[in-house]
Structure formats: structure tokens, C-alpha cells
Structure 1
Amino acid sequence: MIREGQKNFRAPRPKRAWAEGHCPFFHFPHLLGPMAGGVLPYAAAALWAYLFLPFGARAQAAPAAQGGAVFLKAFYALDEPRFLCVDIPGHHSRVNVAAALVVHTCKEGIWNLDERFDPSAISTGRLRMPEYGLCVSVGGARLFLRECGGSALQTWEYINFRLRLKRHLDKCLTIGPEPSRVTRGGRKNASRNMARSLILSACSDEAFERQLWRMEPPLKRSSPILPLK
């Protein structure tokens, strides 16, 4: 369930009503068209993140759906300027719903149903992927898709931009500490997509940058965002 955050917790600057409800610096490639594969978009995104992203944030409700679903997206870019999103291993017909979930380069401009979440379910404490009708559930330290139900292992609270397991509020959905790696598919094409592990771990200052999440609809693009040359 979404819960009110601490009053003394510093909140991010509110988003303005730019096209599609996005900050133009976060998603500069979308506005630059043919220049989207160049250095300038990522320099702008990095500058925006450095200047404006908070060291803390007040809890907020999941956004209204645009196109029916949202990405569960890392708040900070970490080592992937295109940002990392919660993802099912595999792609399209090769998606493996039985595998542990990971984070992957956000799939802007390409098939991305394996990264889409239902915002109305998020508001009730469920991380549900509508394409598969399954919910994120804890299995040890890893995260898996399971049939949605009333299990305490798949009920979350979105507090101060962290996703905490309601049963153990000291445990957070966390991006793994290892460096992102180029995926097997990414080695074969120009996208050079990156991935790393997704775990449940103690909410901590040390893991702070890997534990903040935002929910945003995919960009309306007809091509992927390419990596820096």
C-alpha cells in the first residue's frame, strides 16, 4: 500500500506538465529525434540528475496510467545513462516468466511488455505485470513472478520512493551491487543493452541509490535509444 512519508524527508522537485508528463532533461533523446543516439542527450540527463535529483523523497502515489501501464524504473541512472527497469529475462517470445527478475536497460522504442506494470495494482500494494497476469513475489533474496493473491510475500509499500515488503518494512527492492553487464542479446546488436541482478535486501544508506524507484509510462518512440559511442 502507498503510505505517507516522513514530513521532514526531502522531496524531489515536482514534474512540470511537459509533453507526455516527462521532464525533458530526463528523456532528452525523445525530444532530439535523429540526435537521440549522440552524447548530448546523456550529458543533459546526467546534468539534470546531478542538479535536481534528491537525496531523499516523500512517498507519493503511483501515477495515473498512460497507455495502461508503467515502467518500474530506477530513480538514479547508476552506470546505465538510459536507466534500468525491472525486467523478465529473455525478450518477446523468449521471455522466461519462471526466471528470477532482473533490471535491464529500459526498453524505450521497442517491444517492452515484459517491463510493464499495472499502476492501479501498485496503488493496492501489488507489483502486477498485466501481460502475464502475475505479481512480483519474494523467493529468498530473489524476486519471481507468481500468481497474484493475498500473500505477504507479494505485498509492498511505496514509502519515500522505496518499495518495502509490507511483511518486513526493513527490506527493500534493491538493484544488485555488481556492475551492469552487456546482455547476450545486446552483444549482437547496436543497442548494447545492459542488465544486473534484482534482490530483496536491507534498506540502508549504503544501498540508497539502488533502492529508489519511480513509475513512468514508456516514451512514445519508434526506435530504441542507442548507447554512448
Structure 2
Amino acid sequence: MKTLFTLFILFIFTSKLSASETVEIHLLDNLDDKRGYCLDIKGHKSKAKIEKGLQAHTCYSYQGKISIDQGFDKHKLMNSIFYIPAFLACMETEYNLKTSVKLKKCEDEKEIYFIFNDEGQIILSDDKLLCLTVSNKSPRKGKGGNPLHLMRDISLKKCSSVNSKFQLWSFR
């Protein structure tokens, strides 16, 4: 009986885990890093701080799995909710500051701030002319990785074919 109970608990636990598959959101153009750039919470993996916001950072998936600070809930993402379950955080913007991307504890997971459109752009839901954009400036070097990880700022800029290499995203 005890074994049956343990198996039941294990089944429930693994069912919950598989229901929340995580994916990384990566820039389609690898730019200057063959490992690519992913949306990432500033800070180191489990010690990242949502108050510091997001950046484009070398994707960690080359290490064999999606990093805790780069993992977005796939199911919610399909519904335009940019949710990082390990931090209970959602990607948002302040309506009066439409060029700034923030991370906040999710209060209303039904609130849609961004849309992942069919072209691969991540656009502002209430201003579809603004795209999530990786900085075209030289990247900052991190402290880890071999070669060292690279980081770039992100912001909302006017969607443009000229900037497409900095504005087209996918997830895996």
C-alpha cells in the first residue's frame, strides 16, 4: 500500500512538471556568438534578480539544458504570456514608458503585454509598431563560459526590416 501511495505521488508530481514545459526565447540571428542570444534575467542563474530586468545573453542550452533564468513556460507563451516559472515572473512594460521592458511577479497572468507574432517579432500588445530589440552595440563580456558569455541590452524600438537581425525571435 505504501508503495502504491508513493507511485501515485510520483505520478502526480511528474505530471505537473511535464505540464509546464520550459523553452528558451532566442534571437534568430546569432550575431557574434555561435551559441546565440536568449532572453535572460540579469544575474547568475538561480541567483538572478527580477528587479534587475532582462537582457540578451548567451544561450545556456549549449550546456545541455535550458537555464533557470532563461526558461519560459511554453504553454503560456503560446497564449502571449511571457512567464518565467522558476521566478514566478512575467515580462511587462509600463504603459507610460513604452520603451522599457520589466519583469514583475505575475499578478494577472491573463494580462497580455507582448505578442509573439507570425513574423517572429515580439511586439507590444498596445503598440504593434514597437518590437523587442537587441542592442546593436558591442556586447559586454560576462565572467563565465568558454568562450566568455556575451550580454546585450534589450529595449523596445520601432519594428523595421533594417533592424530585423536584432528583432526576430523564436523559441526552442
Q: TM-score, normalised by structure 1?
A: 0.59
2:135 aligned to which of 176, 185, 193:
176
In structure 2, what is the Cα distance between the partners aligned to 1:88 and 1:96? 7
**RMSD across aligned C-alpha pairs, in angstroms?**
2.1
- Runs of 4 or more, structure 1, over 3 Å off, are none
- Does residue 145 (structure 1) correspond to residue 100 (structure 2)? The answer is no
- Does residue 208 (structure 1) correspond to residue 140 (structure 2)? The answer is no
- Residue 93 of structure 1 and its aligned partner are, at CA, apart by 4.2
- Number of residue pairs matched by the alignment: 148
**Contact 1:138 / 1:200 at 8 angstroms: preserved in 2?**
no
In structure 1, what is the Cα distance between the partners aligned to 2:50 and 2:127? 25
Structure with greater helix share of residues:
2
**Contact 2:24 / 2:66 at 8 angstroms: preserved in 1?**
no
- Does residue 195 (structure 1) correspond to residue 148 (structure 2)? The answer is no
Structure 2 residue aligned with 1:92:
45
Where in structure 1 are there 5+ consecutive unaligned residues? 1-64, 217-229
In structure 2, what is the Cα distance between the partners aligned to 1:157 and 1:166? 9
Where in structure 2 are there 5+ consecutive unaligned residues? 1-17
**Contact 2:20 / 2:75 at 8 angstroms: preserved in 1?**
no
**Contact 2:21 / 2:75 at 8 angstroms: preserved in 1?**
no
- Residue 92 of structure 1 and its aligned partner are, at CA, apart by 3.1
Letter in 2 for 1:83: G
- Residue 157 of structure 1 and its aligned partner are, at CA, apart by 3.8
TM alignment of 1:63-78, pairs within 5 A: 68-78=21-31
- Residue 151 of structure 1 and its aligned partner are, at CA, apart by 4.1
- C-alpha offsets along residues 72-101 of structure 1, whole Å, 9 cap, x if unaligned? 001011111110000011113431110121
Structure 2 residue aligned with 1:131:
86
- Does residue 167 (structure 1) correspond to residue 94 (structure 2)? The answer is no
TM alignment of 1:213-224, pairs within 5 A: 213-216=169-172
In structure 2, what is the Cα distance between the partners aligned to 1:71 and 1:157? 13
What secondary structure does 1:192 align onto? coil
What secondary structure does 2:76 align onto? helix
Using CA pairs under 8 Å that are at least 6 residues apart, name the structure with larger relative contact order, 1 or 2: 1
